[in-house]
Amino acid sequence: MRRDASELAHRLAREAEAVCRYYLSNGKRKGRYWLVGDVHNTPGRSLFVRLQDSPKGPAGKFTDAATGQHGDLLDIIRHSLGLRDFREVAEEARRFLKLPRTEPEHASRPSRLAATVGSQEAARRLFAISGPIKDTIVETYLQRRGIADVHHGGSLRFHPRCYYRPDEHLPTETWPAMIACVTDLDGRITGVHRTWLDPDGFDRIRLGKAPIDTPRRAMGDLLGNAVRFGAADDDVLVAGEGIETMLSLRCLLPTLPMAAALSANHLAAMALSSSLRRLYIARDADAAGDAVQAVLLQRAGSVGIEAVPLSPRLGDFNEDLHVFGLDALRATLRIQLVPEDVSRFLFLPATVV
């Protein structure tokens, strides 16, 4: 394996700029280096990849001046796509190396490295080429839903022109979108969830989502997995259906790990960590929520996990936050959380004792 990694890294180094243009597409060339924000393809200038051999070192090596992180182009592929296993990294590197080379200005086109539509690979690449949500329509969309402090921990990104195809008989459209990564218990990206947004307005019907038939879609491997906010292996977890529901709770419980399973069926089937001691079920107030609560209470109880339902006053916790505000949501949570978790996790104003 070590010999294989060395050979792949050497071959990638000969194509260092093409590698960077594809996997670090938010960066740009500056002299003999490729500059970008970090290994996750965040815009910026703190990470630099050497594009040519020099007295300072071989091509393909990178250093992040902000964190001290360093490595080679195999590490770039691994981090930018969220891969965990070397076998997957090696397969991706070999696939890239088989591509015909084009002029640099065309090398970053997504069509140069095809991925099966809806696959885990396609999901990882979409997340990799998306950028931070700060100062974008994603941040505006969430704020207008009452989520002023977006404690997402890197699970959300923004794509300004995300493809949307109504069906196979209609042309593809592009809309700005919130991109959420779906991960397994090991943190490996298995899929993404897309929420297409309307750049021109916000109304009470669409709540900021694009005026299309299905403004929310997921792709990849979803079963058992979730959009995670915080560590997956902590001893306490809140699990619910929607991304906005969980982000609403994170406004007041920013250090408590949470998971959005994206649907009632997926929430009922979500994998539970072996380290989990207490599971809060942030249920929606409907028949599906009743069914999910019953299933998770039984599943958790069978493996010795304490399960505690959390119930909103309206349809879900984002609706509660949007209609009643932070103080009312705090009061709702304070009487439903286990007392030790109130003191451990619930954000209380200085005047509240």
Instruction: Parse the chain into domains and list their residue ranges.
Output: 2-114, 127-220, 227-345
At 203, the amino acid letter reads D
C-alpha dihedral sign at 213, 311, 342, 304: negative
- Using a 10 angstrom Cβ sphere, with 0-12 exposed, 13-18 middle and 19 or more buried, the burial of residue 203 is exposed
Asked if 338 and 311 touch (Cβ cutoff 8 Å), the reply is no
DSSP codes joined into one string, 32-67 = TEEEES-TT--SSSSEEEE-S-BTTB-TT-EEETTT
3-state SS class at 223 = coil
Close Cβ partners of 66 (under 8 Å, ≥ 6 residues apart) = 38, 46, 47
Neighbours of 174 (CB within 10 A): 12
Closest among 249, 240, 311, 245 to 270, alpha carbons compared: 240
Q: Which CATH number fits domain 227-345: 3.40.1360.10, 3.40.50.1000, 3.60.15.10, 3.50.50.100?
A: 3.40.1360.10
For tokens 């906010």, name the residue: 229
DSSP letter, residue 146: T
Q: Burial-class residue 45 by CB neighbours within 10 Å (0-12, 13-18, 19+).
A: middle
* Amino acid residing at 229: F
Please report, in tens digits, the pLDDT of each residue of the chain (353 residues total).
566 788 899 999 999 999 998 889 888 898 889 999 888 888 888 899 999 988 778 999 999 888 888 999 999 998 888 787 788 888 888 888 875 544 443 333 333 444 555 678 889 999 998 999 999 999 999 999 999 989 998 999 999 999 998 876 778 889 999 999 999 998 899 999 999 999 886 555 456 899 898 899 999 999 899 999 988 778 999 999 999 999 999 999 999 999 999 999 899 999 999 999 999 999 999 999 999 999 999 999 999 999 999 999 999 999 999 999 999 999 999 999 999 999 999 977 754 43
- Distance, in Å, from the CA atom of 126 to the CA atom of 181, rounded to the nearest integer, reads 9
Helix, strand or coil for residue 73? helix
User: How many other CB atoms are found less than 10 A from the CB of residue 74?
Assistant: 22
Indicate yes or no: pTM above 0.85. no
Question: Is the Cβ–Cβ distance between 32 and 50 less than 8 Å?
Answer: yes
Nearest partner of 280 among 247, 236, 318, 312, judged by Cα: 236
